[in-house]
Every structure is written in structure tokens, then in C-alpha cells.
Structure 1
Amino acid sequence: MSNRLSTEERLGRQSPQRLIRYFVMFMAVLYCGLGVFMWVAPATMLPLQPTVRHILGVVFIFYGIIRFVRAYRQMFSK
């Protein structure tokens, strides 16, 4: 099979897959930001016990890191 360019590549358009990858990266950063917010938010802002807030914050941060690493590997593996 020859190395033919796709229609999007010939016309200079961005493929929807590329936009989805950037959206996934953005969501990963958003999850990390939500985790940091839950960790440092004052108790009056979130009606949760401090230990629950800290645990949820750590879970969101780790989940965001995992999503970011997976998206980065998928995006730049070529």
C-alpha cells in the first residue's frame, strides 16, 4: 500500500481525532485542578469532612495524572 495522504491532510484540515486528544489532555489538567481545589478549599465552601475532602482531592489528582500520561503517550507515541 502506498503512503497516500488523507483528504484532511491534503486540505490542511485538522482531524477530529486530534481535537479529541487535546480535549482529553485538557480534562486531565482539569481533574488535577479539581483535586488541588478540594485539597485547599475552605471547609465552609465544601460541606464535607476534611479527611473526605483530602482523600477525594488525592484521588482526583492521581486520576488526572493517569489520564494525562495515557493521553501524552497516545499523542506522542509516533
Structure 2
Amino acid sequence: MLNRSTTDERLNTKSPQRLVQYFTLMMAIIYMGLGVMMWLPMANVFALPSTARRVLGAVFIFYGIIRFARTYRQHFQRNKTHDAR
């Protein structure tokens, strides 16, 4: 039997993993967007006091930034030790 490589192996891509990478980036952007939306005056839709809304919005923005940075560093930044080889 022939030992044939798959298309993903030949192209050096991992489709399901790529989808998860972009999904986690989109979720980070959604968290930041929700945080910004909670800071806006029209955010009375959430029925929270102004102070609680702003604190929760800040937490969402902070979490979104951390999640975005971690995902970018883990999946999209090239490993410098791997490139040196």
C-alpha cells in the first residue's frame, strides 16, 4: 500500500485548528466590543446601575485584550527558535 500524504500535510495546513484560531480571535474582539458597548450611554438595555455597568465593561475590555494577546502570541506569532533551525 502506498504511503500517500494528505492534502493538508502537503500544504502544511491544519484546517480545523485554523478555524479555532480565528474563532478565538473573534471572541476576543466580541468581548472588547461588549465592554465598549457597556460604557456607552445607550447601554441602559442591561438594567444595571451606571457604576456596575462601567466596571463590568472594563472587565470585558481587559479580558478581551488579554485573550487577544494570548491567542495571537500562541497561534500567529512565529516561534523564533523554530525559525533559527
Instruction: Please report the TM-score for the alignment, with normalisation by the length of structure 1.
Output: 0.80
Q: How does 1:8-23 map to 2 (within 5 A)?
A: 8-10=8-10, 14-23=14-23
- Unaligned 5+ residue runs, structure 2? 80-85
Distance in 1 of aligned mates of 2:43 and 2:69: 31
- Superposed CA RMSD in Å reads 2.0
The question of 1:36 aligning with 2:59 is answered no
Give yes or no for contact 1:38–1:53 (8 Å, CA) kept in 2.
yes
* Larger radius of gyration between Structure 1 and Structure 2: 2
Q: Helix, strand or coil: the match of 1:48?
A: coil
Q: Helix, strand or coil: the match of 2:46?
A: coil
Instruction: Please report the TM-score for the alignment, with normalisation by the length of structure 2.
Output: 0.74
Q: In the alignment, residue 74 of structure 1 is paired with which amino acid?
A: Q
Q: In the alignment, residue 66 of structure 1 is paired with which amino acid?
A: I
- Unaligned 5+ residue runs, structure 1? 1-5
Q: CA, structure 1 residues 51+20, in 2 after alignment: closer, same or farther (shift >3 Å)?
A: same
Identity %: 56
Give yes or no for contact 1:28–1:67 (8 Å, CA) kept in 2.
yes
